[in-house]
């Protein structure tokens, strides 16, 4: 059976009642892993809501949402926080930021905000993209103007499909009303234009792989990309 993941949840970090109702719903929706947005000033050890999710049998990955204004700010943030978070997502609000974010291998997920016009996922940006492109359902259901945003998403998804960029679907929910089943998010991605198998991978295999790869990297920071430890020598050399 397929394991589903929602890499973008942003509930209040102190509201355990809200987290409890979200966790119970996520369990019913067969979600195995969630990415919890944790601001840099909060320590991971003092997160009561993470325990709520874990007690419901849901794995929790820490996620940092970076919203840099410039290229320098992005690079500085990545240097500082890459070794602390399991997922790093970058909001590409300007072209300078997007150019670096799509190429830098420390960036896991990129996201193009739909409220700003001008900066789009297309052309060379898409061709050189190493990160996964995120589709947040909250952007579709939050405000009016569904048609315009559907059109923007459709264009983005088409570009991603043409350039074989990986697409990740998430809910960006802060309460149970914003939550959706990952399988339903895949259905929306399919409706927008992504092939069904890619849409399903975008809410299951791809997010799980991102977290798995980063956990390995955090556990063994000295190991380079593509190298993994099979066994260690028993002798002390």
Choice between 1 and 229, CB closer to another protein: 1
CA atoms 179, 182, 183, 184: torsion sign? positive
Q: Phi-psi region for residue 172, left (φ > 0), alpha (ψ -120 to 50) or beta?
A: left
Residue 181 within binding range of another protein, rule CB under 8 A: yes
Q: Residues 71, 178, 193, 209: which binds another protein (CB under 8 A)?
A: 178
Interface pattern 125-164 for another protein (x via CB under 8 A): ------------x--xx----x------------------
Provide the minimum distance between the beta carbon of 159 and another protein in the complex, in angstroms, as a whole number: 20
Choice between 140 and 206, CB closer to another protein: 140
Choice between 35 and 169, CB closer to another protein: 169
Choice between 20 and 99, CB closer to another protein: 20
User: Which positions from 29 through 88 interact with another protein, judged by CB under 8 A?
Assistant: 29
Q: Phi-psi region for residue 30, left (φ > 0), alpha (ψ -120 to 50) or beta?
A: left
Query: How does DSSP assign 167-210, residue by residue?
Result: EEEE--BSSGGG---HHHHHHHHHHHT--HHHHHHTTTHHHHHH
Residue 180 within binding range of another protein, rule CB under 8 A: yes
Residue 167 within binding range of another protein, rule CB under 8 A: no
Residue 195 within binding range of another protein, rule CB under 8 A: no
User: Which positions from 8 through 27 interact with another protein, judged by CB under 8 A?
Assistant: 25
Q: Phi-psi region for residue 118, left (φ > 0), alpha (ψ -120 to 50) or beta?
A: left
Q: How far apart (Å, rounded) are the C-alpha atoms in residues 135 and 83?
A: 25
6 with 159: CB under 8 angstroms? no
Longest dimension (CA), the chain: 65
3-state secondary structure of 5: strand
Q: Residues 100, 179, 208, 211: which binds another protein (CB under 8 A)?
A: 179
Stretch that binds another protein, among 48-56, 78-86, 118-126, 181-189 (CB under 8 A): 181-189
Choice between 67 and 193, CB closer to another protein: 193
Q: 31 forms bridges with which residues in the sheet?
A: 4
199 with 187: CB under 8 angstroms? yes
Choice between 75 and 141, CB closer to another protein: 141
Choice between 17 and 146, CB closer to another protein: 146
Residues that bind another protein (CB under 8 A): 25, 28-29, 137, 140-141, 146, 176-181, 183-185, 187-188, 190-191, 196
């Amino acid at each position: 059976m397929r394991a589903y993941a929602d890499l973008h949840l942003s509930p209040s970090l102190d509201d355990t009642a809200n987290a409890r109702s979200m966790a119970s719903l996520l369990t019913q929706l067969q979600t195995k892993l969630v990415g919890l947005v944790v601001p840099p000033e909060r320590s991971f050890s003092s997160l009561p809501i993470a325990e709520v999710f874990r007690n419901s049998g849901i794995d929790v990955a820490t996620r940092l949402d970076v919203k840099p204004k410039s290229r320098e700010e992005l690079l500085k943030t990545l240097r500082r926080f890459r070794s602390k978070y399991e997922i790093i997502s970058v909001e590409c609000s300007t072209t300078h930021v997007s150019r670096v974010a799509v190429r830098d291998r420390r960036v896991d997920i990129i996201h193009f905000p739909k409220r700003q016009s001008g900066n789009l996922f297309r052309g060379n940006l898409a061709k050189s993209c190493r990160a996964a492109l995120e589709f947040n359902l909250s952007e579709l259901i939050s405000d009016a103007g569904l048609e315009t945003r559907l059109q923007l998403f459709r264009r983005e998804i088409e570009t991603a499909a043409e350039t074989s960029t990986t697409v990740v679907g998430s809910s960006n929910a802060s309460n149970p009303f914003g939550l959706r089943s990952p399988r339903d998010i895949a259905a929306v991605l399919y409706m927008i234009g992504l092939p069904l198998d890619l849409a399903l991978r975008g809410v299951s295999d791809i997010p799980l792989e991102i977290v798995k790869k980063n956990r390995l990297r955090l556990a063994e920071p000295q190991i380079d990309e593509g190298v993994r430890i099979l066994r260690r020598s028993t002798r002390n050399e």
